Structure 1
Amino acid sequence: MTAATRTTGAVAALLVLLALGLFGQAGWPAALLLGVLTGILLAALLHWLVDQGPAPMDGTAFAPPVVQVAQPVAVAAPAVPALPQDDLSQDDLRAIRGIGPKVAQGLNQAGVTRLDQIAAWDDAQIDRIAVEIGRGAARIRNDDWVGQARALIADRAGA
């Protein structure tokens, strides 16, 4: 036992002795016995925790596991399929519910100018275009831009 452990135990014993002797109804012999027992138990506990605790570690005992992280691979986004049409002709994309002037402008900047381009989209192209125009892909799917574009093309062909 170290001197610090013995001193701490003695101080604890003295405090218990004083507290019980002055304020308790057990009397001074009982206070003395409880004080000595408290001092011994506290000193033994501190000795066990401090002096005989686990061996100090050098920092390598619990090294974090090394995880290999795959490096991201750049993949070129597929281009929106351009159907053989007159390059100068553009459709009014605002005929589709959910496409306003700003969204139509964003689509034009992304190279989407015709309804048949929208009608040919698959899920991957919807996701890519949604990122390019700053619109949620779920919103494009919920508004069914592809279905609306196909319906508008069918109406135009029937007219």
Structure 2
Amino acid sequence: MILLGYSTQAGAILIGAGIMAGCLARLRMIILIASGTLMLTGYAVYDWHWIALFTGIALIIMPFVKHRWIIHTPEFAIVLSIGLFVFGDQYPGLVMASCLGFIVGWWSHLFGDIFGSEGIRSLFFPKLKIALKLFDNGGNAERMISNLCQLGGIMIWVFYLLVL
């Protein structure tokens, strides 16, 4: 009888742990969809800039597409760059600097992916792929380059904040 009680408790704990693990595995999806919904709500209710609409749609779509599909295309980067530049132009100073930093970071990310094994593709011409295959995506070389870029970005922000 006591064993039955322990197995019932253990079963309930295992079921709870399984549900929690399943939710955590889907946490990225939940966060992206919730963030996209907030952006769309801000656009519809508070008349935010159209970049909020674009961002909201992109965030909602992201969990359902392959990682290297739409967000790793030059066409997406062009629309994103134009939207961020127009948005940042309305708010000079730190907002514009942040938008320009994001644009430069996005394009340098795409440029860096060209050197990887998976490369980048065009959204309108999917057969067009640029991949120089100089290093493996996710490998040591990519991590080292990423760390150097992050360090450079931090140094730029520190310099920018000290100059203000």
**TM-score normalised by the chain length of structure 1:** 0.25
Q: RCO greater where, 1 or 2, for CA within 8 Å and sep 6 or more?
A: 1
Q: Which has the larger radius of gyration?
A: 1
Per the normalisation by structure 2, the TM-score is 0.25
The structure that is helix-richer by fraction is 2
